[in-house]
Amino acid sequence: MQRIFLISTSPEEYARQGVNFEFPVPDACPNPECLIPIPPKKHGFYERNCLDFTYRGRILIRRYYCPYCGKTISYLPSFCLPYYQYSLAVINLVITNQINSNMSYAQILRQFREHYSDLHMGMQHIEFYLLRFLMNLHAIQIGLRQFLPDIAFPDFGLDIKRGAKKILHIVKDGFGQIHTFSQRFFEQCKRSFLSPLQNILA
């Protein structure tokens, strides 16, 4: 299973520290079907890519193993999203520039080419992230209700862009940083706010 832990360290610094980074140490197995109050054992690392404004390259992901239930648990830093190579900050910039600032896809692409050309962001990425976000809007709203039960959620009907803007606003007001929202959403809903929709049923 995967967990996301909140981290204020930049991807660059996280990568620099490598195995010496102070990774979270669970004091019990986080598998909901196990939860044995015995710390899982360290189980090495795996490498993955991280494409961020400050760093582009491999990072280490800490793994643990619970001998009681046999589950492997990996700890993803909150600047990453499961299955995405681009960092959360990069993806968030695409989403907010389109939804909040009404930039066109072409303008966003130009912005990346002019300012962050090393990221090699393509039009297909931009389209994909926006679509993923919009497709998850309803699931995000359901998730948000669990954190913010007193908030009146917009009935945005067919105006999905307007709804998306309001959801981003609620996220910002309720959580401040997108990292905090992403981490808490993942822990609460057992999926990322940008995961494929069929995961809801899994």
* 73 forms part of the interface with Zn ion (CB under 5 A): no
User: Based on CB atoms, which residue is closest to Zn ion, 29 or 194?
Assistant: 29
* 103 forms part of the interface with Zn ion (CB under 5 A): no
Q: Least distance to Zn ion from the beta carbon of 36, Å?
A: 5
Number of residues that bind Zn ion (CB under 5 A): 6
* Residue with token string 């980074």: 21
Q: Select the span of 9-17, 25-33, 96-104, 171-179 touching Zn ion (CB under 5 A).
A: 25-33
**Cα(11)–Cα(201) distance, rounded to whole angstroms?**
32
Name the burial class of residue 27, with classes exposed (0-12), middle (13-18) and buried (19+) by CB atoms within 10 angstroms of its CB: exposed
User: Based on CB atoms, which residue is closest to Zn ion, 31 or 180?
Assistant: 31
**Cα(85)–Cα(88) distance, rounded to whole angstroms?**
9
User: Based on CB atoms, which residue is closest to Zn ion, 51 or 73?
Assistant: 73
CB atoms within 10 A of CB 80: 26
Backbone angles phi, psi at 154, to 5 degrees: -70, 140
- Return the residue of 34, 103, 119, 148 that touches Zn ion, per CB under 5 A: 34
Residues in the site for Zn ion, rule: CB under 5 A?
29, 31, 34, 66, 68-69
